[in-house]
Structure 1
Amino acid sequence: MGDSEQFVKNLVGDVRQLLRAPANLVKAEREWSLSTICAVIDARNSAPQVVTTHVGTINSVLVASSALDHPLLQSFLKRARESDPERALTEFLDSSEAEAFTEVYERYREEREEKGHAVWSVGDSAAFVAKSREAWKDRELACVAITPGPTSNTHGVLTFSLPLDWLS
């Protein structure tokens, strides 16, 4: 079992009772839609919290960024985590792709100023919506867990689904 699988197993054990209500709501739905219920589990603190929301409004609970989908920004953020963020920024601003990087980096900064720190990308969000549809077909509750990251100002995102009959 991988680290993520073990984390989810432990987390679900901690919040199973809190997932019962959203599971019962999904169980009562006759068809999947953007109004289908899903669960967001914030596991960044010692006492995880569960928020019930609709699949179609997931980004009102979890801030999404369109800039995070850009490969240059993904490369920059990876490099910034691996080394000094200031050094990574200088490297990207001095690279052959500096103009394109500057454009996407500015868009990312503007999004952060307007919406706050993004939890995931718009692409991640869209993938979750599609995954929730499959979960509904399988009679499962679609879940997103926000996990602690390697440093205090970072986080991870895990998506998974759980059988409705097991939860209710």
Structure 2
Amino acid sequence: MTSNRARLDVLVSECRHTFVEAAMQLNAVSTWSFSCPCVVIDGRTDQIKAEVIGVGSIGNLVPTSAAIDSPEVKEWLRIATEKSPEVAFAMMLNGDEERATRFNEAYERLIEERRNGIKGLWSADDLCSFVSRSQAAFPKAVSAIALLPGKKGQSHSILTFESDITSLLS
């Protein structure tokens, strides 16, 4: 986590102007709504992209998967990351028949999302949690999402955080 924290500190510093822009927009708003600004930083590559976007539009910029919310898919992803996808399939499909059926149905939804071009970076639960945190932080902080390179076979990691509006506007 410390390497992610260090990477995040660098990204926030490099994208300070984007945070200031979001803070100015947020400061001009009197009540929270889905159009309130937040910041999305894509730091998965050397070419960093930072954008101010309305909280309600996050799903358009950060692909969201409903299938990933399934406890069985979450377990499969955890095992696949720790061991291998093959071991994860064997563990999920052998043993408890009901769990295997639930996993198979959820995994099929995941495959269908991928076929339809949805490569979810986070789950619908994660998105809802971010929106709630944004509302709770209003009007004192700008909510942000940082997409970072993954570790141990993961394609990415996502950190959500808030940046104090007072320090951005001073």
Give the TM-score normalised by the residue count of structure 2: 0.90
| Separation in 1, partners of 2:111, 2:27 | 40
- Segments of 4+ moved more than 3 angstroms: 1-7
1:53 lines up with 2:53 in the alignment = yes
Residue type at the aligned position of 1:119: L
Name the SS for the 1:10 alignment partner. Answer: helix
CA-CA distance at 1:18 after TM superposition: 2.5
Match of residue 129 from structure 2? 127
**Structure 2 residue runs without a partner (length 5+):** none
Match of residue 41 from structure 2? 41
1:92 lines up with 2:101 in the alignment = no
CA-CA distance at 1:41 after TM superposition: 0.5
Name the SS for the 2:15 alignment partner. Answer: helix
Residues 63-84 of structure 1: CA distance to partner in whole angstroms, max 9, x if unpaired? Answer: 1111111111111001001112
Match of residue 158 from structure 1? 159
1:51-130 to structure 2, matched below 5 A, reads 51-96=51-96, 97-130=99-132
Match of residue 21 from structure 1? 21
Point out the more displaced range, 64-73 or 17-26: 17-26
Q: Percent identity?
A: 31
The RMSD of aligned alpha carbons is 1.8
What is the total number of aligned residue pairs between the two structures?
Answer: 167
CA-CA distance at 1:10 after TM superposition: 2.3
Name the SS for the 2:138 alignment partner. Answer: helix
Residue type at the aligned position of 1:99: T
| Separation in 1, partners of 2:53, 2:18 | 13
**Structure 1 residue runs without a partner (length 5+):** none
Residue type at the aligned position of 2:86: E
Residues 57-101 of structure 1: CA distance to partner in whole angstroms, max 9, x if unpaired? Answer: 110111111111111111100100111212211321223121111
CA 1:116 to 1:74, structure 2 compared with 1: closer, same or farther past 3 Å? same
Residues 1-36 of structure 1: CA distance to partner in whole angstroms, max 9, x if unpaired? Answer: 944433322221121123221221111111101111
Q: Is the 8 A contact 1:41 1:50 kept in 2?
A: yes
Residue type at the aligned position of 2:165: L
Q: Is the 8 A contact 1:63 1:115 kept in 2?
A: no
Residue type at the aligned position of 2:10: N
CA-CA distance at 1:151 after TM superposition: 5.3
Name the SS for the 1:150 alignment partner. Answer: coil
Q: Is the 8 A contact 2:18 2:51 kept in 1?
A: no
